[in-house]
Amino acid sequence: MKELVRNYAWPVACGLLVALLIIQRYPHWIGLPTGGNVAIQMAPEVVPAAGPASYSDAVQRAAPAVANIFTSKEVTTPEGAAAGASRNPTLRDYSDSLPAPARRQSSLGSAVILSSDGYLLTNNHVIAGADEILVALQDGREALAQLIGTDPETDLAVLKIDLPNLPAITISASDTRPHRTGDVVMAIGNPFGLGQTVTMGIISATGRNQLGLNTYEDFIQTDAAINQGNSGGALIDAHGNLIGINTAIFSQSGGSQGIGFAIPARLAAEVMKAIITNGRVIRGWLGVEVQPLTAEVAESFRLAPNEGIVITGLYRDGPAWQAGLQPGDVILAIDDEPVSSGRNAMNQVARAQPGQSVKMKVMRGGKPMTFEAEVGVRPNFRP
């Protein structure tokens, strides 16, 4: 019996092994499902990009060009005078006739040196109303700044200081490599007056608008911590190049909640050059008030929603008024560029030079029409 098992055990084992291999390779031979209709897409092997172990080099490159801003202005406090009179019986009967005392109100912020000639960019709200602006550099030097000009519609201001050997930050070449969501960024500023501080995060989104912060909005959103005093500071990339001017945070507590906004550096630099050259930013203007094309209105015009914008009002004697446009007209395109929102149209016209002619494709009463308007200079609607 043992001799029989010894003679047949090995052939049986080999046969079972061959049978299993055949079943696995050709299951349809015995009626098993093949799974050939199930498409499983395997991701190719990706070698992750190696990031630096430290961003110190980037910070050391950019930080000397980020300055602390200390502003002050004189304010009157009649409430304080009345309170002081109630505490002093000898003044109680004369409090109404006494002048209100003045006091100095201070605030903090940040600024970025963009030119070795001494031009700095900061936020308009940082220096608004200030009668004295002190700039403190990282190397310990201080200087009183001259206000060159402001652009409230982008919340930017240009300052000038007179110091030798000023470090200037470099602007990221976003034309060759656009900033992308997920890119590492760092915010440099003077939060709460602690002194220069660096925080790190990523770009959370780009092109943020309709936040109600500025007239012209194209914000970079980041989760790098931005707090009070960071306004006007630098948002830099992993190489130390400037990509934005820190401007605002979304917060319910007053502290950073990981939602901060920065003005793109390219836009900020264009505003600075315009202010230095002309004293203000000159933008194109048509003089129309518009609203989005709702589904109901679009249906009445046999258009798709967001296929244009509806004119709701015109400034008398403005460029659009003189061109013959009327309330109720639907602007479909400006210079052959389709119009999908009022903000995009406003930005497009703002980039045009005053005196330049633009053609507008318009729908009026269900009929397509074409108008030509000469772009005017946008008035300053904000204080």
The residues annotated with a catalytic role in the active site are 125, 155, 231
CA atoms within 13 A on the CB side of 280: 9
For residue 322, the surrounding DSSP H or E stretch is helix 319-323
In contact, 189 and 179? CB cutoff 8 Å: no
Q: Which residues contact 111 (CB under 8 A, 6 or more apart)?
A: 66, 67, 68, 69, 120, 121, 122, 126, 135, 159, 232, 233
User: How far is residue 278's CA from residue 353's CA, in Å, rounded to a whole number?
Assistant: 14
CA nearest 221: which of 201, 192, 199?
A: 201
Strands (E), 77-208: 102-113, 119-123, 132-136, 142-144, 146-151, 156-160, 184-189, 197-208
The tokens describing 161, both together, are 């200081």
CA atoms within 13 A on the CB side of 269: 17
User: How far is residue 111's CA from residue 68's CA, in Å, rounded to a whole number?
Assistant: 6
If 0-12 CB within 10 Å is exposed, 13-18 middle and 19+ buried, where does residue 239 land? middle
Three-class DSSP category at 64: helix
